[in-house]
């Protein structure tokens, strides 16, 4: 399954975004969250709880990018991109409804995530609505 140029662009943008944000959270959480106006302090448990999903997000970003070059990984990369960039804004919208209005930078992140989600949905639409080929593990009858 070879990706189209549009799919490569969507995977590239989503992968670079996820990798960059995840790596920033993993390796520089204080600086990353300060950009949102959040002061973390030195609580090792809190930092660990932030770094762990940062590592996961970076790993998901790598899977998205790998889908561009390894065609066998393309369906995984697409699924991960859609999951990340639909789940993140969904979580932010729940936070908006339950907790109130966050900072302008958080709203900016929400808008960026929604744009990437829309890009991925548009890029992957052809594959989303077509059934995948059935792979059989059964041996043919003789």
For the segment 3-47, what is each residue's pLDDT rounded down to a tens digit?
Answer: 899 999 999 999 999 999 999 999 999 999 999 999 999 999 999
Q: What is the pLDDT of residue 128?
A: 80
Q: How far apart are CA 61 and CA 83, in angstroms?
A: 12
- 117 contacts 18 by C-beta, under 8 angstroms: no
- Could you tell me the pTM of the whole model? 0.86
The tokens 């958080």 sit on which residue?
106
How many residues in total does the chain contain?
A: 142
130 — pLDDT class (breaks 50, 70, 90): confident
For 120, residues 6+ apart whose C-beta sits below 8 A from its C-beta are: 10, 14, 78, 81, 82, 85
56-106, pLDDT tens digit by residue?
999 999 999 999 999 899 999 999 999 999 999 999 999 999 999 999 999
* Mean pLDDT for the stretch of residues 112-118: 97
Q: How far apart are CA 90 and CA 98, in angstroms?
A: 12
11-21, pLDDT tens digit by residue?
999 999 999 99
119 — pLDDT class (breaks 50, 70, 90): very high
Other beta carbons less than 10 A from residue 21's beta carbon: 20
Give me 87's structure tokens.
Answer: 């789940």
Q: How far apart are CA 57 and CA 107, in angstroms?
A: 19
Q: How far apart are CA 16 and CA 131, in angstroms?
A: 28
Three-point CA angle 124, 130, 132, nearest 5°: 100
């Amino acid at each position: 399954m070879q990706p189209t140029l549009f799919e490569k662009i969507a995977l590239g943008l989503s992968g670079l975004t996820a990798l960059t944000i995840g790596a920033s959270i993993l390796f520089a959480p204080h600086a990353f969250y300060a950009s949102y106006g959040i002061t973390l302090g030195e609580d090792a448990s809190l930092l660990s709880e932030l770094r762990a999903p940062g590592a996961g997000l970076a790993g998901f970003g790598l899977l998205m990018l790998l889908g561009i070059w390894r065609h066998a990984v393309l369906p995984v990369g697409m699924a991960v991109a859609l999951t990340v960039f639909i789940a993140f804004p969904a979580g932010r919208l729940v936070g908006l409804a339950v907790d109130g209005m966050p900072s302008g930078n958080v709203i900016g992140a929400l808008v960026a995530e929604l744009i990437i989600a829309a890009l991925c949905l548009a890029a992957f639409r052809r594959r989303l609505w077509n059934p995948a080929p059935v792979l059989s593990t059964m041996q043919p009858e003789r």
